[in-house]
Amino acid sequence: MELMIPLKNQPGLPYYSQIYSYIKEEIKKGNIGPATRLPSTRQLAENIKVSRSTTQMAYEQLLSEGYIEAVPCKGYFVCRIESLVRTGQDQGDKISSFFSPSSVGRDKSGEWKVDFSPRGIDLCAFPFNTWRKISKNTLVDDNREMFMPGDPQGEPAFREAIRSYLHSARGVNCLAEQIIVGAGSEYLLMLLSQILGTERLIAMENPTYKQAYRVFRSLKYQVVPVAMDKSGMDVELLKKSGADIAYVMPSHQYPTGIVMPVKRRQELLAWAYEQEGRYLIEDDYDSEFRYKGKPIPALQGMDGRNRVIYYGTFSKSIAPAIRVSYMVLPAPLLAVYRERMNFYASTVSRIDQNILYEFMGEGHYERHLNRMRAVYKAKHDAMSVGLKPFESQFLITGEHAGLHLLLTDRKKRAESLLINMAATSGVKVYGMSGYFIQEEHNAYPSTVVLGYASLTEEEIRTGLALLCQAWSVCDQKEGSCE
């Protein structure tokens, strides 16, 4: 087929974004039907007089979100997206009307030569001077108000800043009144348990973020693991689980790195809409760092029936010690919170909230994110280059987003063997088995996780060279690990 896409020369609206938006809307409206073959990137570029890289960027974003699929040797085809789930968004904004007002491998100091921890971040580029200045200004003139009790949900101005950021950067639709600020996601999950009640069955992706699992279990929740396929949590298995709450990470699943396509997101929403009282908990922990295409919009933005509970944090984007997270409650759950739990004091001091508010309001947060994206992109590229010799022996996945990669051994050597072989060379790597709720469900028996955020590019190259030798990759690629 041919596509005639109207392009406008608008500052801040690049052509690839216009192409992506036009095709997506045509698919959603049904004007371009399922299984329709789209023109090649070269053909489309020639038709609308743009560079081929422009059309490639647009198609890559559509691929990432699951609107189209690439069939080898045949081309690009529109995915079958079942009648876009009626979310209620076309009924107007109902939110506003709801409210009235081991020692092996370590050196003599006990340190590893290289530690590929998936939990670290880079603090070398942190704007300490800016943070120091804002902190000083917050306390200038003996600002006594900062030492008084504040709003239990978090300071209104800070929550509005979060709302504005989430709407523009993540496509989240909410009011500031729906946001609750807390000291870490663990606290917010405990607070949520008071709102939902503990007589719930929670489904979690398997493998998953084990800290959330530990919190749920400590709160006496029954948790059922649900296996994943290439698109994320298997909805058919979710239906069979009997769960009424599903905890998912659609924008970048941890630790597999799966980005959930739009069709699977709709299927999850449809599951939630089938029965009253069902909810999806969306953990959007590191959506800021994506290296191919633009960030995937949040699942919450697709929900018009108040069934998605959205979580976010500043721990990955700023620093873990900040300990500031936020939760967006659907309107009905917010009503329950205000009725039963609004006597809980905020666990984040007004001083810290004000510092973050000023940091965001003055544009420092956006500049910091842009700087960190460049820093992590350079490290990501160093990992990609350094892993080239590994490709014959390992399947490498999760490379398009986040701060870690997965290496699955094609020789099927045991995960523990890979870890021990790395340790003898002074390199610490992490086994995938540690992320499964029940290890017998491990579908990745020969996989290790390599995080790179806290390493320098030189440390990355050193660590990969050591792994290349430890895992005998250099035996087949002589000289390529130098």
Q: What residue ranges do the domains of the chain occupy?
A: 15-78, 114-122+367-470, 142-362
**pLDDT tens digits, 275-333:** 999 999 999 987 777 776 666 789 999 999 999 999 999 988 888 888 899 999 999 99
Written as one letter, the residue type at 407 is L
Examine the pLDDT at 83 and tell me if it is beyond 80: no
| Omega before residue 207 within 30° of 0, cis | yes
| CATH code, residues 114-122+367-470 | 3.90.1150.10
Q: Which residues of 159-189 are buried (b: 16+ CB within 10 A; e: fewer)?
A: bbbbbebbeeebebbbbbbbbbbbbbbbbbb
Given a contact cutoff of 8 angstroms between Cβ atoms, the answer to whether 268 and 246 are in contact is yes
- Average pLDDT in the 167-196 region? 94
Q: What residues contact 65, with CB distance under 8 A and at least 6 apart?
A: 24, 261, 262, 296, 297
Start-to-end Cα distance in the chain:
49
| CATH code, residues 142-362 | 3.40.640.10
Given a contact cutoff of 8 angstroms between Cβ atoms, the answer to whether 87 and 40 are in contact is no
Query: How high does pLDDT run on average in the chain?
Result: 87
Q: What residues contact 109, with CB distance under 8 A and at least 6 apart?
A: none
Examine the pLDDT at 91 and tell me if it is beyond 50: no
Per-residue model confidence (pLDDT) at position 112: 87
Q: Which of 312, 58, 30, 54 is nearest to 171 (CA)?
A: 312
**pLDDT tens digits, 208-258:** 999 999 999 999 999 999 999 999 999 999 999 999 999 999 998 999 989
Burial of 307 (0-12, 13-18, 19+ CB in 10 A): buried
- pTM for this prediction: 0.84
Tokens 């900062």 sit on residue: 146
The architecture (CATH level 2) of 15-78 comes to Orthogonal Bundle (1.10)
Q: What residues does 226 pair with on adjacent strands?
A: 205
What DSSP designation does 324 have? -
Q: What residues contact 274, with CB distance under 8 A and at least 6 apart?
A: none
Examine the pLDDT at 77 and tell me if it is beyond 80: yes
Predicted confidence band of residue 120 (pLDDT cuts 50, 70, 90): confident
Examine the pLDDT at 158 and tell me if it is beyond 90: yes
CA-to-CA distance for 62 and 79, rounded, in angstroms? 10
| Number of other residues whose CB lies within 10 A of the CB of residue 29 | 9
Tokens of 125: 């580029």
Q: In what helix (H) or strand (E) does residue 59 lie, and over which residues does it extend?
A: helix 52-65
**pLDDT tens digits, 45-59:** 888 888 888 888 888
- Average pLDDT in the 445-459 region? 93
Written as one letter, the residue type at 149 is P
